[in-house]
């Protein structure tokens, strides 16, 4: 199966991603979900910098995936759990100091 290059836009930046043709729609949907999550984090005002926003979104999505896998079924994640995780991660990132982004 051959790969094709897909153009996606995440937080106002364009990316080219190679994927199998039969996974095109899943990739586009994944990019839309990531864009939405990153925009939510950015609009909260608590996280500054593209890299930090991306890390927070990735951690939130990974946490949701882990919970869904361990429960054996997809479930709705309590937003308070995610907020507590986000606060802990932001605290740790703040201790690391400023992050330089391109």
To which residue do tokens 């199966």 refer? 1
What torsion do the CA atoms of 38, 11, 46, 78 make, to the nearest 10 degrees? -10
Q: What is the mean pLDDT of residues 3-12?
A: 92
Provide the H-helix boundaries in the chain. Answer: 24-44, 50-71, 79-96
State which fold the 3-96 domain adopts: Double Stranded RNA Binding Domain (3.30.160)
Q: Give me the residue spans of the domains in the chain.
A: 3-96
Alpha-carbon gap, residue 73 to 70, rounded angstroms:
8
Q: Write out pLDDT tens, residues 8-48.
A: 999 999 999 988 888 899 999 999 999 999 999 999 888 88
Alpha-carbon gap, residue 65 to 58, rounded angstroms:
10
Q: Write out pLDDT tens, residues 38-88.
A: 999 999 888 888 889 999 999 989 888 888 777 754 445 566 666 666 766
């Amino acid at each position: 199966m051959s790969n094709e290059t897909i153009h996606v836009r995440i937080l106002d930046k364009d990316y080219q991603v190679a994927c199998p043709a039969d996974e095109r729609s899943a990739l586009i949907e994944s990019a839309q979900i990531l864009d939405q999550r990153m925009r939510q984090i950015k609009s909260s005002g608590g996280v500054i910098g593209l890299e930090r926003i991306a890390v927070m979104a990735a951690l939130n999505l990974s946490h949701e995936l882990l919970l869904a896998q361990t429960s054996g079924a997809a479930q709705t994640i309590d937003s308070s759990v995610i907020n507590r995780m986000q606060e802990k991660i932001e605290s740790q990132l703040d201790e690391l100091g400023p992050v330089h982004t391109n």
